[in-house]
Structure 1
Amino acid sequence: MLRVSPRRSNQEERLIGTRQPHGFNMSMKKESPWDVELHLAAARGDAKRLRILLDSGRVHVDCKDKDGTTPLILAAAGGHIDAVTELLHQGADSNAKRLTGTTALFFAAQGGYMDIASLLLEHGAIVDSCSVDGGTPLFVACQYGHLDVVEGLIERGASPNAHMKDGATALFIAAQNGHLRILEVLLERGAKTDAARTDGATPLWIASQMGHDHIVRRLLKAGAKVDATRHDGATPLFKAAHKGHTAVIGELLKYRPSLGVLPNGESALHAAALTGHMTVARQLVGAGADPLLVNQEGITPLQLAVRHSQTQVANYLRDKVRVRTASC
């Protein structure tokens, strides 16, 4: 899945699982020429050649390269159902794993090949078999937006509340990638709305950070906590303000999020002032945010805007303070 390889310096942008693209390279340094030929035939989807090689008795159906890749995994990853059928008929292990822990079902789900996924499941593939970082076929189907695969896997027993080692659930992955219909299916099947990653980030938090206002709207409707706070003290509103996601902020403000100083010592208006997002500043002040609210360092949004040369925001906040002062 993604690691499929996550870029954890910014955890929000990492993918899931232990991803290997459909065209991953085989490493055959220790394999015999027959092994190599069998792998190549599987990668090409050449079912006839697979049959000839296997019937010769010179090669094992589950021969692996140094990464643990079997012919069945290659055929499934390439979407070659005839080759998958032949290999399963010849006794291929549907649950054979690469060193990353990924199986043929994982790659079928990644590619959106529900016909192959169904065939693998009929031959004993474990629906929630997970990669080394906890990603399952359901996770990677959610990541890549394969709705039919998501529905098919859940119908066959995949858990909508399974989670990776970092705590991310399938709902989190769907929210991160903006897949609304998949998110709705997961919610309908009992996915926990506020299930958080180990750093405290919830599906609503990640959707806000990514700017997916349609996902934010649906999660809030489903009862997601508007002020769910990541461990660093940032809320969905704070992150959306920092990123300048005005549509997301519009959705969040309907549920009365905190406009005050947050556990991270800042307010959403401080984030807008720092980054110079003028429209966001207007939205927040219009909702009641205070231009003179002091953060943990004793600095107001107005002072922060001035300090960082965000002239437009500074002038706007200065005018708001002037009007308020005049009316007192």
Structure 2
Amino acid sequence: MSVNKKETPLANAAFWAARRGNLALLQLLLNSGRVDADCRDSYGTTALMVASYSGHYDCVKELIMQGADINYQRETGSTALFFASQQGHHDVVKLLFEFGASTEIQTKDGGTALTVASQYGHFNVVDVLLKNGANVHDELNDGATPLFLAAQGGHVTVIRQLLSAGAKVNYSREDGTAPLWMAAQLGHCEVVKVLLLRGADRDAENQDGSTALFKAALKGHNDVIEEMLRFCPSLGLLKNGFSALHAAVLSGNAKTVLLLLGANADPMLPNKNNELPADLTKNERILNVLHPRKMNRDS
């Protein structure tokens, strides 16, 4: 039977059945001999991909038994396994593996089933993928690994899984952004804690010369800062010409400033423009925190 590459009314009906989980209609269409199990739309999306995305186990199995190509790639490079992993359907993922799904196929941006499952925090899927040979060192075209994507999303359980499977805690994207830096700037405190305990470089710098502590200070993520200070990060000038205290002042968060001063950040350390932290604000509360005796005398 030749593959029906065109969108026909019957093929569209098969897509509808796969999307809605209507097994009876799908079987009727496939058994009619007028709809192929590999029918697909103009983008290369197959009925198997649709059923996998929607998590309809029985429809997925029927399509496979009718001869659907498990590893067929749509226009973007995605497969049925990719879609099932993206949506967290671990039972469908297991089924696809039983019939030969590959973990190595990449999308046009370098994505794999493991990268997308990690990105969305589907720990059950990640577990199945790793047990079936998924590569923990997969990378998107920009160098982002499953660990990086999990850190970006704040998915602690997935991070622990990936680290246990051998993920490199300090591996950064092409722009120099490490998982710790990303987690810190997004305020994912528990992720920061796990990464630091597993050996993340607390002073790793991004391409712009900023560190995880600098970004957390700039964003005012005080819980992240408290966690990072336990690991004695650098409080001096960074390659970007500023200190974390300068960033804290710019954030306008007095508590952030207090936390850094409590860790012995130097309020008299000028930045690359010869500006003290106090020169970067007119906020009296922050100024009083930076120079309490001077402010009290002036008042």
**Partner Cα distance (2:295, 2:21) in 1:** 72
**Runs of 5+ unmatched residues, structure 2:** 1-5
Cα distance, 1:266 vs. partner? Answer: 0.8
TM-score of the superposition, structure 1-length normalised? 0.86
| Other-structure match for 1:163 | 139
Larger displacement relative to structure 2 (314-323 or 46-55): 314-323
**Partner Cα distance (1:238, 1:41) in 2:** 52
Selected match of 1:242 from 218, 230, 240: 218
Cα distance, 1:320 vs. partner? Answer: 6.2
**Partner Cα distance (1:314, 1:128) in 2:** 56
Q: Give 3-state SS (helix, strand or coil) of 1:284's partner.
A: helix
**Partner Cα distance (2:119, 2:84) in 1:** 13
Partner amino acid for 1:312?
A: R
Is 1:276–1:312's contact at 8 Å kept on the other side of the alignment?
no
| Other-structure match for 2:22 | 46
Give CA-to-partner distance per residue, 1:106-125, whole Å, 9 cap, x none: 11112211111111111111
**Partner Cα distance (1:254, 1:181) in 2:** 22
Give CA-to-partner distance per residue, 1:182-229, whole Å, 9 cap, x none: 111111110000010111111111110111111111111111100010
Whether 2:287 is the aligned partner of 1:314: answer yes
Selected match of 1:102 from 51, 61, 78: 78
TM-score of the superposition, structure 2-length normalised? 0.94
Q: Give 3-state SS (helix, strand or coil) of 1:61's partner.
A: coil
**Partner Cα distance (1:320, 1:82) in 2:** 73
Selected match of 1:226 from 186, 189, 202: 202
| Other-structure match for 1:264 | 240
Selected match of 1:80 from 43, 52, 56: 56
| Other-structure match for 1:31 | 7
| Other-structure match for 2:3 | none
- What is the count of residue pairs matched by the alignment? 292
| Other-structure match for 2:98 | 122
| Other-structure match for 2:129 | 153
**Partner Cα distance (1:269, 1:145) in 2:** 33
| Other-structure match for 1:132 | 108
Q: Following superposition of structure 1 onto structure 2, how do residues 270-281 of structure 1 map, counting pairs within 5 Å?
A: 270-281=246-257
Is 2:177–2:205's contact at 8 Å kept on the other side of the alignment?
yes
Cα distance, 1:310 vs. partner? Answer: 2.3
Whether 2:32 is the aligned partner of 1:67: answer no
Give CA-to-partner distance per residue, 1:216-252, whole Å, 9 cap, x none: 1111111110001000011000000000011111111
Give RMSD over aligned pairs: 1.6
Selected match of 2:277 from 296, 301, 310: 301
Is 2:115–2:149's contact at 8 Å kept on the other side of the alignment?
yes
Partner amino acid for 2:136?
A: P
Is 1:68–1:97's contact at 8 Å kept on the other side of the alignment?
yes
**Partner Cα distance (1:283, 1:128) in 2:** 46
| Other-structure match for 2:261 | 285
Distance 1:162 1:259, change over 3 A: same
Larger displacement relative to structure 2 (159-168 or 138-147): 138-147
Q: Give 3-state SS (helix, strand or coil) of 1:93's partner.
A: coil
Larger displacement relative to structure 2 (200-209 or 311-320): 311-320
Is 2:156–2:191's contact at 8 Å kept on the other side of the alignment?
yes
Q: Structure 1 stretches (4+) deviating beyond 2 angstroms?
A: 320-323
**Runs of 5+ unmatched residues, structure 1:** 1-29, 324-328
